[in-house]
Amino acid sequence: MTSAEGAPGLAARLRDATAVEHKDTENRSFISRLMGGELSLDEYTRYLAQYAYVYRALEARQPQPGDPEFLSEPALPRFPSIVSDLAHLGAGDWEIAHPALPATQAYVAHLESIADADVPRYLAHHYTRYLGDLSGGQAIASLVARHYDATPDQLAFYRFEAIDSPVRFKRAYRDQIDALDFCEDQAQILFAEAKLAFRFNGDMFNALGDAVPEPVAS
């Protein structure tokens, strides 16, 4: 979206500011291998369990007076779906079966350290995960179903029951970012925090990948 004067809006600036981090995160070996069918449903379960910690922390924030409404959009929270998926994936007591990796602990500690009233920082994490789930996440769901025979019961994470059209939802979400009355300092905090959010995700992928070394080419 551009403003009336033709300058890019905040949402477009945010996408541009994180474009390099997006490419870099998307291309991490664990994700490429997961999406390429080289891993297993067990590896997917390990990955999902780490996200249970992340979403529990992300979704623990209490709405604050003056928050933009879309930060409390009830269609978005994923923690209950992830827990349900983990049960259907046979993870049992997921916290016992899959302790948080150090990279996950760092991401969670950071989410917990963000002040409740800090809209730019919280928005950065909200945007990075939920717009990601509504974009590349949809591709992950199809590929996990195709490669590893995951059933719909195991993929509720990616099903946003209250969202008819992810494309329209994402457009409206970006419009709401554009409508925020951020000063330039707040915009810069938003961009820096979103880059950091991508890095936390990338660190988790690296840690997950380290546990399943790539086969050495003979």
Residue numbers at the binding site for ligand HEM (CB under 6 A): 14-15, 22, 25-26, 31, 35, 127-128, 131-132, 135-136, 139-140, 170, 198, 201
Task: Say which DSSP state 6 is in.
Answer: S
Least CB distance to ligand HEM at residue 113 (A): 19
- Angstrom distance (rounded) from CA 86 to CA 82: 6
Measured from the CB of residue 88, what is the shortest distance to ligand HEM in angstroms?
21
| Residue 135 C-beta: closest distance to ligand HEM, Å | 3
Side chain identity at 73, as an amino acid letter?
A: E
CB of residue 49 to ligand HEM, shortest distance in Å: 16
Name residue 126's beta-bridge partners.
none
Q: Which residue's C-beta sits nearest to ligand HEM?
A: 136
- Pick the closer one to ligand HEM by CB: 115 or 139: 139
Q: Which residue type, as a one-letter code, is found at position 22?
A: H
Cβ proximity to ligand HEM, 32 vs 90, nearer residue: 32
Q: What are phi and psi of 8, to 5 degrees?
A: -60, 145
3-class SS at 38? coil
C-alpha span between 65 and 21 (Å, rounded): 32
For ligand HEM, the closer of residues 48 and 140 by Cβ is 140
Compare residues 88 and 199 and give the one whose CB is closer to ligand HEM: 199
Which residue lies nearer to ligand HEM by CB, 87 or 207?
Answer: 207
Return d(Cα 57, Cα 10) in angstroms, integer.
26
Closest CA to 211 of 26, 29, 55: 29
- The distance of closest approach from Cβ of residue 69 to ligand HEM in the complex, given in angstroms and rounded to an integer, is 19
Could you tell me the two tokens for 204? 């988790």
Task: Report phi then psi at 48, rounded to 5.
Answer: -65, -40
Question: 56 or 87, CB closer to ligand HEM?
Answer: 56
Instruction: In angstroms, give the least distance from the CB of 131 to ligand HEM.
Output: 4
